[in-house]
Structure 1
Amino acid sequence: MTIFAEKKGMNLAFNKILKEEIPQILPMIQELMGHQFSNEILTQRFSEMFDQNYECFGIFHEGKPVGVFGMWFMTRHYAGRSCEPDHIFIKESYRSKGVGKKLFEFIYEYAIKKGCETSELNSYVSNYRSHKFYLNEGYEIKGYHFLKKL
């Protein structure tokens, strides 16, 4: 699936990434995650994710990958059918050029087509630039995300 969008003269394509294409997104995921995990671990985790109401898309400009993001789909008792954008990464040279705005327009349209009523997401506490962006997009801070290693 390829969806095209134009923003400030920049033609973008949002291409659905298939399970067998996981290796092509790993360099961007590694950069996003600070190389915390091996490619083998990430490949195994993404392979499982593809079987759990998860979809992945690449962001392309003139055929070149410039970003990646995922979306989880679920029903929440407090929010109804919901889409959760995840692991959003846009290459540094494409930031602050309207790519994020166009990306979220795509996410909202896609989620509505899939019957979603809401969108929610997590953002690292130290990622201040994303907080400002998400607040400008109309997201509200509703709580904290807790994680415990087992």
Structure 2
Amino acid sequence: MSKIHATPFSFKIIDKKDINTIIPLIQKLTNNKNSDAVLKERFAEMVEQNYECAGIYDEEKLIGVCGMWFQTRHYSGKSMEVDHVYIETNYQGKGLGKNFFKWLYDYAKSKGCNTSELNTYVQNYPSHKFYYNEGYEIFGYHFYKTL
């Protein structure tokens, strides 16, 4: 008789006071674009705005993150904008992202959201496939200008 093992993975909102625990993963995602000090400063501001972050844990180890911005938009109503999604490489391709997004959608619905949107880099083809499979559609282009 085979044993059924409980999954070691869990999803949860990262407490504001623990937001800096995501910095090592964000550094991997962005190839160290900003220093840890800059990220600490920015995340300190973000958590005081309409920003939250969810984590994927393998037991106690943080292996994935997803930032979420909550706002009301004239074209879509109350929305969750998914931001900086990252799962450690050796955990990718195992269905964990799909389960994480189901959890994120349920969380957003519990906060009254009826839509989810996101931006992804043009050259990030694996993410495009994932988001298409999640039912996202392309609505426009995201423009960026440094001031």
Kindly indicate whether residue 142 of structure 2 is the aligned counterpart of residue 145 of structure 1: yes
Structure 1 distance, partners of 2:38, 2:73, is 29
The aligned runs of 1:19-38 (5 Å cut-off) are: 19-38=16-35
Partner of 2:119: 122
Gap runs ≥5 in structure 1: 1-7
Distance in 1 (CA, whole Å) between partners of 2:138 and 2:20 is: 34
Structure 1 CA distance for aligned equivalents of residues 9 and 55 of structure 2: 10
Deviations 1:91-116 (A, max 9, x none): 00000001100011001100111000
Aligned equivalents of 1:115 and 1:52: distance in 2? 18
CA RMSD across the alignment: 1.4
Give the distance between the partners of 1:36 and 1:105, measured in 2 at CA. Answer: 30
Give the aligned partner of residue 97 of structure 1.
94
Q: TM-score, normalised by structure 2?
A: 0.93
Aligned to 2:143, what secondary structure does the other structure show?
A: coil
Q: Distance in 1 between matches of 2:22 and 2:139?
A: 30
- Residue of structure 2 equivalent to 1:3: none
Larger Rg: 2
Equivalent position SS for 2:118 = coil
Displacement, 1:129?
A: 0.2
Q: Structure 2, unaligned stretches of length 5 or more?
A: none
Q: Deviations over 1:53-95 (max 9, x none)?
A: 1111221012211111111100000010000111111000000
Runs of 4+ in 1 over 4 A off after TM superposition: none
The Cα shift of 1:44 comes to 0.6
Which of 59, 64, 67 is matched with 1:62 structurally? 59
Query: What's the CA shift for 1:32?
Result: 0.4
> In proportion to residue count, which structure has more strand?
1
Q: CA deviation at 1:9?
A: 6.3
- CA offset at residue 18 of structure 1? 2.1
